[in-house]
Amino acid sequence: MKWTLDPSHSTAGFAVRHLMISTVRGRFSQFTGTGETNPDGTLKSVEMTLDVASIDTNAAPRDEHLRSADFFDAATHPKITFRSTQIAAQGADVTIRGDLTIRGVTRPVTLTGEFTAPMTDPWGSTRAALAASAKLSRKEWGLTWNVALETGGFVVGDDVRITVEVEAVAVPETVPAAT
């Protein structure tokens, strides 16, 4: 079965240390995604595309800086993409290996989380959900901007926790037209 992401019931976000004392969270408000399940309802594939210009950390000046060439370089690299290459499941627990592309750099990432098997909602649509996360080093994708602190350490932490919580709706199968 094929799926499309329901953006009104989904989030794609991140968290990173700021000044070595707190965590700043952000999200991408514009993104798309598709997936596929096997006949037994288990997850088969996942793809997502995030619009870099839609980054939102609840601070407009910071968002503009994140869109700049110092970070995501949205003018040159307007999309972040993820495409699964392997999915393993044990019950609801899933491990999704895939390729994450940021700033034109593609590297493997492993997400872990939970897949909620397909069900029928009260309006007759078939839905499924996925909540998954991973920790990565932003420097591996060329996101190296930073400022040293007088007290030691840096303004922006290297480790970033990425999270996705998505609800997907089954795409109705099309029946080929009779010829």
pTM over 0.85: yes
Higher pLDDT, 154 or 6: 6
Give yes or no for a contact between 99 and 85, defined as CB atoms under 8 angstroms apart: yes
Is 19's pLDDT higher than 80? Answer: no
Q: Which CATH class is domain 2-170?
A: mainly beta
Contact in structure between 99 and 136 (CB atoms under 8 Å) = no
Give the pLDDT confidence score for residue 138 in this predicted structure. 80
Domain ranges, ordered by start, for the chain: 2-170
Question: Is residue 18 predicted with pLDDT exceeding 80?
Answer: no
Write the pLDDT tens digit of every residue in 42-86: 889 999 999 999 999 998 998 998 898 988 899 999 999 999 999
